[in-house]
């Protein structure tokens, strides 16, 4: 995987940068090491002109800059290791994201708790 990770056909490309944050959660599940990984994409969902107008409107009203919508993805732990260049030790092999889900749809947009994929056993 290169420095850009595909986040699904409809979502497009999520680039590393100031608007993206990642989290790897490591925990014990039935006494075994387990891990899950997530990316939060905070890129503004506006065109440059619309973003400039929104900032100007907020400034005129004396309001703080508006926060844009954000998207959260469940991703393979290995993708975080590849994107960041970090050695995550045993965490990629402890990934609770089922192998089939990793192959079929590497990055899953999370819109509710029910969208999180984790095996039940």
pLDDT value of residue 120: 64
Distance CA 54, CA 74 (A): 30
Q: Do 107 and 6 touch, CB atoms closer than 8 A?
A: yes
Percent helix, strand, coil in the chain, to 5, is 30, 30, 45
Q: Do 109 and 102 touch, CB atoms closer than 8 A?
A: no
Q: Do 109 and 11 touch, CB atoms closer than 8 A?
A: yes
**Other CB atoms closer than 10 Å to residue 3's CB: what's the count?**
9
**Other CB atoms closer than 10 Å to residue 86's CB: what's the count?**
12
Structure tokens at 90: 């045993």
For residue 90, give the 3-state DSSP assignment.
coil
Instruction: Average the pLDDT over each of 78-82, 93-97, 115-119 and give the range with the smallest value.
Output: 115-119
Task: Say whether pLDDT at 6 is over 60.
Answer: no
Strands 32-41 and 20-29 turn out to be antiparallel
12-63 pLDDT tens trace:
334 444 567 899 999 999 999 999 999 988 766 656 777 778 778 888 998 8
pLDDT value of residue 18: 53
pTM of the model as a whole: 0.64
The rounded mean pLDDT for the chain is: 76
């Amino acid at each position: 995987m290169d420095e850009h990770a595909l986040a699904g056909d409809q979502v497009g490309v999520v680039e590393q940068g100031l608007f993206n944050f990642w989290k790897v959660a490591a925990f014990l599940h039935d006494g075994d090491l387990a891990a899950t990984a997530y990316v939060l994409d905070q890129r503004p969902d506006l065109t440059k002109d619309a973003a400039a107008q929104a900032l100007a409107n907020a400034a005129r009203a004396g309001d703080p800059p508006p926060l844009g919508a954000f998207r959260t993805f469940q991703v393979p732990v290995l993708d975080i290791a590849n994107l960041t260049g970090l050695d995550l030790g045993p965490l990629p092999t402890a990934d609770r994201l089922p192998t089939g889900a990793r192959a079929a749809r590497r990055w899953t947009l999370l819109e509710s708790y029910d969208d999180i994929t984790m095996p039940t056993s």
